[in-house]
Amino acid sequence: MTAAKSGGGAPPLCVALNGALIHTDLGHESLFAALSARPWLILLMPFWLLAGPAVFRVRIAALTTLDAAHLPYDERVLAHLAEEKAKGRRLVLVAGAPSDGADAVAAHLGLFDEVVTARGVTRAAELKQVYARYAYLGGGARGDIGAWTGAETVGVANARPGLRRKLAGRPVEVDIPPRGGLARAAVRAIRPYQWAKNLLVFVPILTSNHLSNLTAWMMATLAFAGFSAAASGIYILNDLMDLAADRRHPRKRNRPFASGRVPLALGVAMSPVLLALGAAAGFGAHVLPALGLYALVSLSYTIKLKEFQLVDVFCLAFLYVIRLFAGGLATGYYLSLWLLGFSTFLFLGLAFVKRAAELKSVDAPHVRLDRRGYSTDDLPILTLMGVCASFTACILLTLFVQSPEVAQRYASPMVLWALAPLILFWQLRLWLSTARGYMHDDPIVYSARDWVSWTASAVAVAIMVLANHPNLISGVS
- Domain 13-179 and domain 183-400 have a common topology: no
What value, to the nearest 5°, has the Cα angle with vertex 447 and ends 442 and 452? Answer: 150
> Which overall architecture, per CATH, does domain 13-179 show?
3-Layer(aba) Sandwich (3.40)
**pLDDT: which is higher, 188 or 171:** 188
CA distance 232 to 191: 6
User: pLDDT tens across 185-212, in order?
Assistant: 999 999 998 898 899 999 898 887 777 8
CA distance 27 to 56: 10
User: pLDDT tens across 406-421, in order?
Assistant: 777 777 888 888 999 9
* Mean pLDDT to the nearest integer, 224-247: 92
> With pLDDT > 90 as the criterion, what percentage of the chain qualifies?
46
Radius of gyration of the chain (CA): 28
Question: Could you give the angle at which helices 379-401 and 419-435 cross, rounded to 10 degrees?
Answer: 170
pLDDT value at 322 more than 90: yes
Question: Could you give the angle at which helices 214-241 and 182-189 cross, rounded to 10 degrees?
Answer: 110
- Phi, psi of 93, deg, nearest 5: -95, 125
CA distance 12 to 102: 17
Contact 76, 176 (CB under 8 A): yes
Residue 471 pLDDT: 67
The residues spanned by each domain of the chain are 13-179, 183-400
CA distance 222 to 283: 9
User: pLDDT tens across 284-305, in order?
Assistant: 999 999 999 999 999 899 888 8
Class of domain 183-400: mainly alpha
Residue 57 pLDDT: 80
139-178 burial by CB neighbour count: b if 16+ within 10 A, else e?
Answer: bbbebbbbbbebbbbbbbbbbeeebeeebeeeeebbebeb
Say what the pTM is.
Answer: 0.82
Residue 445 pLDDT: 81
**Residue 2's pLDDT band (cuts 50, 70, 90):** very low
User: pLDDT tens across 367-411, in order?
Assistant: 887 778 888 899 999 999 999 999 999 999 988 888 887 777 777
Residue 120 pLDDT: 66
